[in-house]
Amino acid sequence: MTKRGATLSTSDARRDAVVDAAVAEFARTGFHSTPISAVATRAAISPAYVFKLFPGKVSLFVAALDRCYEQVVHALSNGAARAGDAEPEKILYEMGGAYADLIADRNLLMLQVHAQSAADTPEIADAVRRGLQRVTEFARSRSGAPDDQVQRFLAYGQLCHLITTLDLDTHPGDWAAVLSAGIRHPGKN
């Protein structure tokens, strides 16, 4: 039952809030083990209404993923701005720093990890490719770095995902230190 006196919002604003909730919940528990009800609860909404706003669970996940990559590219752009028109390596380095700052809350990072694992759903695979394309093309054109340096940039980004997923930066043991060395880590929260 709708609460007395509650002001209704436009469905667009609601959709937006639901995507925020979806980013957080899907990042926590992944695609398959996140029930729509968890997203709904976080958005302070009924599960049924989520299905009015999005045609299905997959398209909600894709919307969350799109927002995630949007923020990533935006962060890279900020990092590049910090480097001005320095040499390519310097620009890539600043982008890396900005990325590390962005994923300090772990949400955007874990969402990407979970998305990769859910890529057997074609729509999700498409969304990941789309996002990765934007990131790669932006890094390449904005930095002007040669292809192999761009590739390296992305490779170390993937390594960063692994390190954070497994908390290797706080893990005892030489081997963990080898993998984590020199990589800027997000804090625990």
DSSP annotation of 184: P
- Give me the least distance between CB of 122 and DNA, in Å please: 14
Give me 134's structure tokens. Answer: 């934007």
Give me 145's structure tokens. Answer: 């770095």
For a copy of itself, which residue of 15, 30, 42, 58 counts as binding (CB under 8 A)? 30
- Give me the least distance between CB of 51 and DNA, in Å please: 4
Query: 53 near 14, Cβ under 8 Å?
Result: yes
Give me 122's structure tokens. Answer: 């074609």
Distance CA 17, CA 178 (A): 40
User: In terms of Cα–Cα distance, which of 29, 110, 55, 114 is closest to 38?
Assistant: 29
Q: Please identify, among the stretches 13-21, 61-69, 86-94, 140-148, the one whose residues bind a copy of itself according to the rule CB under 8 A.
A: 140-148
Overall size of the chain counted in residues: 189
Using CB under 7 A as the binding rule, whether residue 33 contacts DNA is answered as yes
Q: Please identify, among the stretches 15-23, 68-76, 92-100, 132-140, the one whose residues bind a copy of itself according to the rule CB under 8 A.
A: 132-140
- Give me the least distance between CB of 167 and DNA, in Å please: 24
Using CB under 8 A as the binding rule, whether residue 48 contacts a copy of itself is answered as no
Helix axes 57-83, 88-102, angle to 10 degrees: 130
CA 151 to each of CA 39, 47, 132: distance values in angstroms, whole numbers, following the listed order: 35, 41, 12
Contact positions vs DNA (CB under 7 A):
1-12, 14, 33-37, 45-49, 51-52, 56-58
Contact positions vs a copy of itself (CB under 8 A):
28-30, 32-33, 113-114, 116-120, 125, 128-129, 132-133, 136-137, 140, 147-148, 150-152, 154-156, 158-159, 161-162, 165-166, 168, 171, 173-176, 178-179, 181-182
